[in-house]
Amino acid sequence: MLLTDLKLTSEYLNLDEIFYHKVNPNPLKDPQLVSFNKKAADLIGLKHQEANSQTFVDFVNGSNIIPDSTPYAMCYAGHQFGFYVPRLGDGRAINLGAIKGWHLQLKGAGQTRYSRSGDGRAVLRSSIREYLMSEAMYGLGIPTTRALAIISSEQQVIRAQWEKSSIVLRMSPSWIRFGSFEYFYYKDDHDKIEQLADFVINESYPHLKGDPDAYLKMFEEIVISTAKLMAQWQAIGFNHGVMNTDNMSIASITIDYGPYAFLDDYDFNYICNHTDREGRYSFGNQPKIGEWNLAQLMQALSPIIDSDRMTPMLMRYHKIFQTTYLSLLKNKLGLYSDYDDTKLVSELFELLQNQPIDYTYFFRTLSHYQGDRDALLKLVMMKKPLARWLDIYDERLELEFLPPKERNSKMLQTNPKYVLKNYMLQDAIDEANSGDYSLVDALLNIAQHPFDEHPEFEHYAGATPDEYKNLKLSCSS
């Protein structure tokens, strides 16, 4: 399909006007295409040749609004760092409509009613980070929004310094957040909570339509899938950094990529967000915060669902998280038979916590393990604890049915060779800021194929260089 054949729908605009603000994008001057994501284009059936057309660049820039598209920003609230903020909303994101179940949204396309003091813009740095990371999560099999393209402009905006502005076209099966419900709960507008719940069921949980307990079951599914999402984040070593309730998706996918990071050396207490002084959103706190956020959602849904019926569901969260997390870790270790490996796993994590070991590189190296310990022992300063752990691991492997070679090949599909660490992204951002976008495209390819070998990028496959380890990033983007 060419852009001219694209038909976008906007069911959301059937809701009352309080849910949105119809607003046209404010295009950037002289936009240039930075990157085009063919895989995302395939999702909406858009032909790749469009990447070369000016009409497509204008589409991403919001200056080419296709017929039948009515751009709008969405209203929501949220708990930010534990405190309720009654009105947030899309302050710099403008929705164009949906196609094939994907809602297209321009992030950085100018101010809306919800911009508060913000300029409505996104800088090239943050757009590249969002674009690449959402594709990396997709490549790792973790539920996430996607991104179709980035454009950039010489037009500058002020952050800590002047930076190039940009727009990223993001796509999601839903842009409804926990905070979308909170907005109406704290306004005491129960009728709107019901309207929104019906909308969410229709959009994200259509199998529940017509069920007399649809609202309750929707909540139950959100609890289960959020617990599983948190387990996936923890197992892969992803720190989101800003788990405010407005950044929690009602479809339980990863959204709003800000100051995130993949772990370099394993550290349970790692905080990627520089403004998060107390570590509320530290890596290790994420599962607990997921539960806290669900409790806020439960509160917001209480006018339409009996809390006594929701509470037992929320109480299952911890168990679902634990079970999923353990099973993902067992897969990372190549342990497929049904034994309780809790102790083996916790001993490994104690060891990882107690000395600097690159999380991703460790598991990738372990994926080649067939008894020769040299490669693994080289990764650590203190050899003894790892050697002792490998003794127990060896014993445990004896109980597995899969021959070592097959175990290795399964583990190599579970433990990525590449995750997009912040220093790699920074390389791509630095080059992009001087006009060379080739590393953005190369990292896009790596992001989408993280388990493959990419010989020309071997230098990105090892432990993070010391000077770039465990950096903190600022929220301002």
**Which residues carry out catalysis?**
246
427 binds, among Mg ion, ligand AMP, none (CB under 5 to 8 A by kind): none
- Shortest distance, CB of residue 90 to ligand AMP, whole angstroms? 5
Nearer to ligand AMP, 41 or 242 (CB): 242
Tell me, by CB under 6 A, how many residues bind ligand AMP. 16
Query: Whole-number minimum distance, CB 179 to ligand AMP, in Å?
Result: 9
Q: In terms of CB distance, is 31 or 89 closer to ligand AMP?
A: 89
Contact between 121 and ligand AMP per CB under 6 A: yes
Q: What is the C-alpha separation between 458 and 368, in angstroms, rounded? A: 16
According to DSSP, the residues that pair with 74 across neighbouring strands are 20
Task: Decide if residue 256 touches Mg ion (CB under 5 A).
Answer: yes
How many other CB atoms are found less than 10 A from the CB of residue 198? 16
305 is in the binding site of which of Mg ion, ligand AMP, none (Cβ under 5 to 8 A by kind)? Answer: none
Q: How far apart, in whole angstroms, are the C-alpha atoms of residue 113 and residue 423?
A: 35
State in angstroms the smallest separation of the CB of 91 from ligand AMP: 2
Binding mask 165-184 for Mg ion (x = CB under 5 A): --------------------
Q: Name which of 41 and 272 has its Cβ closer to ligand AMP.
A: 272
Give the pair of three-digit tokens for residue 37.
């994501």
Q: Which of 70, 69, 110 is nearest to 93 (CA)?
A: 110
Q: Tell me which stretch binds Mg ion (CB under 5 A): 46-54, 248-256, 388-396, 404-412.
A: 248-256
| Complex with ligand AMP: residue 103 or 407, whichever CB lies closer | 103
**171 near ligand AMP, rule: CB under 6 A:** no
Q: Which residues inside 64-103 make contact with ligand AMP, applying CB under 6 A? A: 88-92
Instruction: Decide which of ligand AMP, Mg ion, none touches 115; Cβ closer than 5 to 8 Å per partner kind.
Output: ligand AMP
CA distance 18 to 37: 34
Q: Which H or E run contains 195? A: helix 190-204
What is the distance between the alpha carbons of residues 18 and 38, in angstroms, rounded to a whole number? 36
Stretch that binds ligand AMP, among 2-10, 115-123, 226-234, 318-326 (CB under 6 A): 115-123
Number of residues that bind Mg ion (CB under 5 A): 2
Taking CB under 6 A as the criterion, the residue among 134, 247, 293, 360 binding ligand AMP is 247
Rounded CA separation 444/148 (Å): 11
Of the residues 182, 203, 221, 256, which one makes contact with ligand AMP according to CB under 6 A: 256
415 vs 364: CA distance, rounded Å: 5
CA distance 24 to 121: 14
Site membership for Mg ion, residue 247 (CB under 5 A): yes
User: Binding segment for ligand AMP among 17-25, 114-122, 347-355, 365-373 (CB under 6 A)?
Assistant: 114-122
Contacting residues for 146 by C-beta, under 8 A, at least 6 apart: 37, 39, 40, 43, 102, 134, 135, 138, 170, 171, 172
Closest to 208 (Cα-Cα) out of 223, 226, 220, 196: 220
Q: How far is C-alpha 128 from the geometric centre of its chain's CA atoms?
A: 14
- CB 291, min distance to ligand AMP, A: 20
Q: Where are the alpha helices (DSSP H) in 334-437?
A: 342-354, 359-366, 374-377, 383-397, 404-412, 422-433
Q: How far is the CB of 435 from Mg ion (least distance, A)?
A: 29
Q: In the chain, how long is the greatest CA-to-CA distance?
A: 67
Query: Nearest to residue 146, comparing CAs of 120, 107, 183, 115?
Result: 107
Instruction: With beta carbons less than 8 A apart as the criterion, state whether 70 and 95 touch.
Output: no
State how beta strands 162-172 and 146-158 pair: antiparallel
Nearest distance, CB of residue 79 and Mg ion, angstroms: 12
* Two tokens, residue 472: 């903190």
Which does residue 282 bind out of ligand AMP, Mg ion, none, counting CB within 5 to 8 angstroms by kind? none
One of 25, 31, 71, 120 touching ligand AMP (CB under 6 A): 120
User: Under rule CB under 6 A, which residues in 177-216 are in contact with ligand AMP?
Assistant: none
- Judge whether 146 and 172 are in contact, CB under 8 Å: yes
Alpha carbon distance 352, 332 (integer Å): 14
Q: Which two tokens stand for residue 52?
A: 């070369």
Of residues 127 and 247, the one with the C-beta less far from Mg ion: 247
Q: Is 119 in the site for ligand AMP (CB under 6 A)?
A: yes
Give 252 or 360: the residue with its C-beta nearer to ligand AMP. Answer: 252
Tell me which of 69, 115, 226, 324 binds ligand AMP, using CB under 6 A.
115
Of residues 387 and 475, the one with the C-beta less far from ligand AMP: 475
What's the CA dihedral at 323, 328, 330, 335 to 10 degrees?
120
Can you tell me whether residue 78 is helix, strand or coil?
A: strand
Query: Which of 96, 227, 231, 242 is in the footprint of ligand AMP by CB under 6 A?
Result: 242
Binding site for Mg ion (CB under 5 A): 247, 256
Binding site for ligand AMP (CB under 6 A): 88-92, 114-115, 118-121, 242, 247, 256, 258, 475
